[in-house]
Amino acid sequence: MTEPLEGTVITIRSVLCEVDADGRIYTCQARGRLVESDTGESKPLVVGDRVIFSATSEDQGVVESVLPRTTKLSRTSPRGARTEHVIAVNVDQLLIVASIRKPPLTAGIIDRYIIAGHAGGLEPVICLNKVDLAEDPAEYADMARTYRQMEYQVLLTSAVEGTGIDALREALKNKSTVLAGHSGTGKSSLINAMQPGLKLRVGEVETKGRHTTTWASLLKLDVGGYVVDTPGIRELTLWEVKKIEVAQFFPWIWELSHDCRMPNCIHMHEPDCAVLRAVESGDLPEWRYDGYVRIVETIDEVDVPRDTDVEVPDKQVAKSRRAPSRRKQRQDLRRIAREEQDDEDDEDDLLGYRRL
């Protein structure tokens, strides 16, 4: 009997999975009791799981147990908007890829992805790609500065000219990362520039039969770490966020909101709103406010169950005039993440996230 090994589940196919243990790939079966496990997940094993397994040959083994998960990336089922299907776990970060031009840069989409990243417990990293297309670095400098002020890492890259690719490699090293962003922003090109030959399926629609569908797999990076390869991630959802909570992700709104008269002010039409006052006076740039409004408007409050234990941001905390820590934001969002199961293994054109 050999010593148990530890590895990462990189692909799941039916009852078999592939486990990467220090670079060696084992095709493993899961023991019966794993299937019966009470993890609350719709599948006992998920791509990204750290597992303990016994090798039965040089490339085969049996999974014995699953180690605790740190984060999870979910999709919602087309059958029910409130159900969740975990497609990958232990993902460290969300690389938000936006292009300077073609398609043009907008803060709104980046903000939405930032919130979705926090909602899944993933650290957002922003990548402004196609810098070669900018006539003047001033086109993106302001935005880069803004997000850096929010303490997000901002990478400036050109997949075509190779700009910033070393920094990208460094950012992804020894982490597991999922890439998100509009189609055509250069996600596949960036991965390919970083590691020639590595192909992402991000833009594709899954068309395989239901029993052969691979929900997600992990692509191994030469520098260490993985890229989560999930077909069809297109738009992100805010399905776990209430209107009142959105301001937490916009420090410039959050700080002003402490001076609003209404305790539940969402800074849209309320009387004596400090945020609206700042927009009118020009103290708050309109584009910053617009990014906030776009998100609030996409949230259908009726959709949110009334009985969740979501806490409205505490006005005492608000008085301290500080935005909540990033850790707190993540905790809040994880707390309200839903645990409902979805036992349908049907195809879905929106893996990962629901459309906003």
Tell me, residue by residue from 200 to 219, as one string, x for binding to ligand GDP by CB under 6 A and - for no binding: --xx----------------
Cα–Cα distance for residue pair 67/50, rounded to 1 Å = 5
The residue from 72, 112, 187, 267 that contacts ligand GDP (CB under 6 A) is 187
Please check whether residue 102 is in contact with residue 184, taking contact to mean a CB–CB distance below 8 angstroms: yes
CB of 112: closest distance to ligand GDP in angstroms? 16
Q: Does 189 bind ligand GDP (CB under 6 A)?
A: yes
Q: Going by C-beta distance under 8 Å and a sequence separation of 6 or more, which residues neighbour residue 121?
A: 70, 71, 72, 330, 333, 334
Piece of 160-168, 171-179, 253-261, 319-327 that binds Zn ion (CB under 5 A): 253-261
CA distance 223 to 170: 8
Stretch that binds Zn ion, among 71-79, 100-108, 205-213, 264-272 (CB under 5 A): 264-272
Distance CA 338, CA 299 (A): 16
Residue choice 8, 42, 185, 248 for contact with ligand GDP (CB under 6 A) = 185
Print the SS3 string covering 61-78: EEEEEECCCCCEEEEEEC
User: Quick check: 260 binds Zn ion (CB under 5 A)?
Assistant: yes
CB 12 within 8 A of CB 89: no
Where in 265-324 is the site for Zn ion (CB under 5 A)?
265, 267, 273, 275
- Does residue 308 belong to the site contacting ligand GDP (CB under 6 A)? no
From the list ligand GDP, Zn ion, none, which binds 260 (C-beta under 5 to 8 Å, kind-based)?
Answer: Zn ion
Task: Report H helices in the chain.
Answer: 32-35, 107-119, 138-149, 165-172, 187-194, 243-246, 251-257, 274-281, 286-298, 315-319, 326-335
Interface size with ligand GDP, residues (CB under 6 A): 17
Strands 175-180 and 225-229: parallel
Which string of x and - marks every residue 79-118 that binds ligand GDP (by CB under 6 A)?
Answer: ----------------------------------------
Residue whose Cβ sits closest to ligand GDP: 186
- Burial of 356 (C-beta count, 10 Å sphere; 0-12/13-18/19+): middle
Q: What angle (nearest 5°) sits at the alpha carbon of residue 241, between those of residues 235 and 246?
A: 95
Residue 186 sits in the site that holds ligand GDP (CB under 6 A): yes
Closest distance of CB 188 from ligand GDP, Å? 3
CB 332 within 8 A of CB 314: no
Report the interface residues with ligand GDP, using CB under 6 A: 129-130, 132-133, 158-160, 181, 183-189, 202-203
Report the interface residues with Zn ion, using CB under 5 A: 260, 265, 267, 273, 275
